[in-house]
């Protein structure tokens, strides 16, 4: 159930949107299946013109044939896009859908189901835009009418449909809670919830029923809603978020788990590391190369032994016998590298690799490095190489190293990065509150007077520079570098690589330190003063409140 303040905010946002311009939610002209045939048609016509000038009738006929086929393809694509163009305009009590054929108004009460999925669009490993896929089910006939709305917007830009989505989700959630109070089960696509038991269907032949007392956690990962049972590391239910009312099941289960409180304790699953969230496998190319080299050594050793025995050359046989176990060890190492996997659990990481299985809890990680470098081959993007390093000062042998090459950074890796960064950032914030000095990266330190920057140079060590927190105007992460600007000069005063150890945790601490300064500069109201409070204690409490506000904000963003 939404709190009154949040509900009022949604109503205000919807009222502000009432009467605005139409929002395009249908097909767009910038699609490859229109641009490609149009480009081929233009290129074929140009080749046909050149062939005509060169007096080559055979080439003219072939290029005109290609141009005709491409033109038919392009015209068909354009007509299809034109027919599926759609716009939505938000009203205070509903929304209007405009197509090429008609214009229809729907009230909020006619919407019986909703599915919403947010998909990032990447180009050359960089986030270029975000796509919102919204599906609405409308009552009013023998079968619900399905309306699909797809809109695209810039990264971190507000979604113009968000006020409508929030309003419809609030109404559907209130209806579901009211039905549960009247002992009417709530149904979704392949699931039913009556407030105590969840009935689900995985396939036409596999279904199940589970009590809320057995459910330990609910989370959205990789475009799926995943539900775990107590003492089980793997989720027993995974529903794509594109299915009808998958979001509603998450809201209902989270509300039931929160209402359960401590009356039904949920034991840990999978030992001390909790439920398994996801698995990542490194790039297997290196493992296959090592395995191939080991097999080559084994083959050479076998050949030497065979030749030595046939010709009676015992030194050759000895060399072969010495190489044979060495080749076997290399093959074994290559197979271990191929089978290596990084498992992210609720409370820590497990890495199965060449030396066995390494375990490291999140609260044990002292040093964390996240490096994402885009790779190019002959000027063309070939993937992003991800390198993760987790280390503990008291247990150097328990460090975890993971690398893989992927098309772009996935939400699983972002989740892992944020989870580890928040654990380390909390310890850094506590240490800063106690000692007033804490190291961020090898070049940056958080101090009481400001941010100390020691720029490293190949030739000489430059003197440290102190940047007061209230002098920091802006900071930005761009092209794998952090740039910090202050009021002392126009160009950036700090430039540090994002792959530096503990960069991401320190960025959270910087946000907590600079945030209060920005709010005071913008004229925001300070916290309520307490009489006779020590100024230093007040400053510490203000910083701690700022840190906690940053942590809660990042947690809300991750759970969306």
Q: Is 87 left (phi over 0), alpha (psi -120 to 50) or beta?
A: beta
Which pLDDT band, with edges at 50, 70 and 90, does 172 fall under?
A: very high
- Does any domain span residue 160? no
Q: What is the mean pLDDT of the chain?
A: 84
Sign of CA pseudo-dihedral 552, 553, 559, 560: positive
pLDDT tens profile 323-380: 989 988 888 888 887 888 999 998 999 998 777 789 999 999 999 999 999 999 888 8
Q: Could you tell me if 388 and 473 lie in one domain?
A: yes
Q: Could you tell me if 302 and 413 lie in one domain?
A: no
What residues contact 5, with CB distance under 8 A and at least 6 apart? Answer: none
Structure token pair of residue 376: 């190019």
Q: Could you tell me if 431 and 373 lie in one domain?
A: yes
More confidently predicted of 219 and 267:
219
Q: Could you tell me if 257 and 290 lie in one domain?
A: no
- Does any domain span residue 404? yes
Q: Could you tell me if 430 and 486 lie in one domain?
A: yes
Q: How far apart are CA 549 and CA 178, in angstroms?
A: 33
If you average pLDDT over each of 280-284, 285-289, 444-448, 475-479, which comes out highest? 444-448
pLDDT tens profile 13-37: 444 445 568 898 888 888 888 999 9
Q: Could you tell me if 409 and 473 lie in one domain?
A: yes
- In the chain, the number of structural domains is 3
Q: How far apart are CA 418 and CA 421, in angstroms?
A: 5
Q: Render the burial of 47-82: b for 16+ CB within 10 Å, e for the rest.
A: bbeebeeeeeeeebeebbebbeebbebbeebeeebe
| Domain end position, chosen among 269, 294, 317 | 269
More confidently predicted of 129 and 544:
129
Q: Could you tell me if 256 and 314 lie in one domain?
A: no
Q: Could you tell me if 224 and 333 lie in one domain?
A: no
- Does any domain span residue 68? no
- Does any domain span residue 122? no
Q: Could you tell me if 264 and 291 lie in one domain?
A: no
Q: Could you tell me if 399 and 292 lie in one domain?
A: no
- Asked if residue 460 has pLDDT above 80, the reply is no
- Does any domain span residue 32? no
Q: Could you tell me if 241 and 304 lie in one domain?
A: no
Residue located via tokens 């919204």: 134
| Domain end position, chosen among 231, 247, 269 | 269
Contacts of the segment 415-419: beta carbons below 8 A, 24+ positions apart: 415/221, 415/277, 415/344, 415/558, 416/344, 416/388, 417/370, 417/504, 418/504, 418/554, 418/558, 419/362
Residue 331's domain comprises: 283-337
Which pLDDT band, with edges at 50, 70 and 90, does 529 fall under?
A: very low
Q: Could you tell me if 417 and 296 lie in one domain?
A: no
Q: What is the domain-level CATH number for residue 255?
A: 2.30.29
- Does any domain span residue 102? no
% of residues, the chain, pLDDT over 70: 85
- Does any domain span residue 251? yes
- Does any domain span residue 125? no
Entry pTM: 0.77
Q: Is 205 exposed, middle or buried (0-12, 13-18, 19+ CB in 10 A)?
A: exposed
What is the per-residue pLDDT for 531? 39
pLDDT tens profile 378-434: 888 989 999 999 999 888 888 999 888 889 899 899 999 999 999 999 999 989 888
| Domain end position, chosen among 269, 297, 319 | 269
């Amino acid at each position: 159930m939404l709190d009154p303040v949040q509900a009022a905010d949604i109503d205000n946002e919807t009222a502000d949107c009432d009467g605005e311009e139409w929002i395009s939610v249908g097909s767009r002209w910038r699609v490859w299946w229109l641009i490609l045939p149009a480009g081929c048609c233009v290129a074929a016509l140009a080749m046909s013109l050149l062939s005509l000038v060169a007096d080559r009738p055979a080439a003219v006929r072939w290029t005109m044939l290609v141009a005709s086929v491409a033109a038919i393809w392009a015209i068909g694509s354009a007509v299809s896009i034109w027919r599926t163009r759609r716009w939505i305009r938000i009203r205070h009590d509903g929304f209007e859908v405009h197509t090429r054929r008609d214009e229809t108004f729907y009230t909020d009460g006619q919407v019986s189901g909703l599915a919403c999925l947010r998909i990032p669009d990447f180009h050359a490993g960089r986030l270029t835009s975000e796509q919102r896929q919204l599906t609405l089910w409308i009552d009013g006939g023998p079968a619900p009418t399905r309306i699909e709305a797809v809109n695209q917007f810039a990264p971190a830009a507000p979604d113009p449909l968000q006020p409508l989505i929030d309003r419809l989700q609030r109404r559907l959630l209130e209806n579901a809670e009211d039905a549960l109070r009247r002992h009417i089960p709530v149904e979704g696509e392949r699931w039913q919830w009556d407030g105590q038991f969840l009935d689900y269907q995985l396939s036409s032949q596999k279904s199940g029923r589970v009590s809320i007392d057995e459910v330990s956690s609910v989370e959205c990962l990789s475009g799926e809603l995943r539900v775990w049972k107590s003492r089980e590391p793997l989720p027993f239910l995974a529903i794509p978020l594109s299915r009808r009312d998958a979001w509603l099941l998450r809201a209902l289960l989270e509300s039931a788990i929160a209402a359960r409180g401590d009356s039904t304790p949920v034991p840990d699953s999978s030992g001390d590391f909790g439920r398994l969230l996801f698995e990542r496998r490194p790039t297997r190319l290196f493992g296959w190369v090592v395995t191939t080299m080991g097999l080559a050594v084994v083959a050479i050793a076998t050949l030497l032994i065979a030749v030595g025995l046939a010709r009676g050359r015992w030194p050759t046989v000895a060399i072969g016998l010495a190489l044979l176990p060495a080749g076997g060890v290399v093959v074994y190492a290559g197979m271990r590298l191929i089978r290596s996997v990084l498992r992210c659990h609720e409370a820590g990481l497990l890495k199965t690799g060449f030396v066995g299985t390494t375990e490291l809890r999140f609260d044990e990680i002292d040093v964390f490095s996240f490096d994402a470098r885009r790779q190019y081959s002959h000027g063309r993007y070939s993937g992003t190489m991800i390198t993760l390093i987790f280390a503990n000062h008291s247990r150097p042998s328990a460090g975890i190293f993971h690398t893989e090459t992927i098309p772009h950074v996935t939400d699983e890796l972002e989740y892992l990065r944020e989870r580890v960064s928040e654990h380390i950032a909390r310890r850094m914030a506590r240490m800063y509150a106690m000692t007033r000095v804490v190291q961020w990266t090898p070049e940056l330190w958080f101090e009481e007077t400001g941010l100390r920057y020691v720029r490293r140079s190949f030739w000489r060590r430059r003197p440290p520079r102190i940047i007061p927190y209230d002098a920091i105007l802006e900071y930005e992460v761009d092209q794998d570098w952090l740039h910090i600007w202050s009021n002392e000069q126009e160009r950036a005063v700090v430039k540090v690589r994002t792959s530096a150890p503990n960069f991401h945790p320190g960025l959270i601490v910087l946000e907590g330190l600079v945030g209060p300064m920005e709010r005071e500069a913008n004229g925001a109201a300070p916290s309520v003063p307490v009489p006779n409070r020590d100024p230093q204690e007040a400053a510490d409490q203000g910083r701690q409140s700022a840190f906690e506000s940053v942590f809660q904000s990042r947690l809300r963003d991750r759970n969306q």
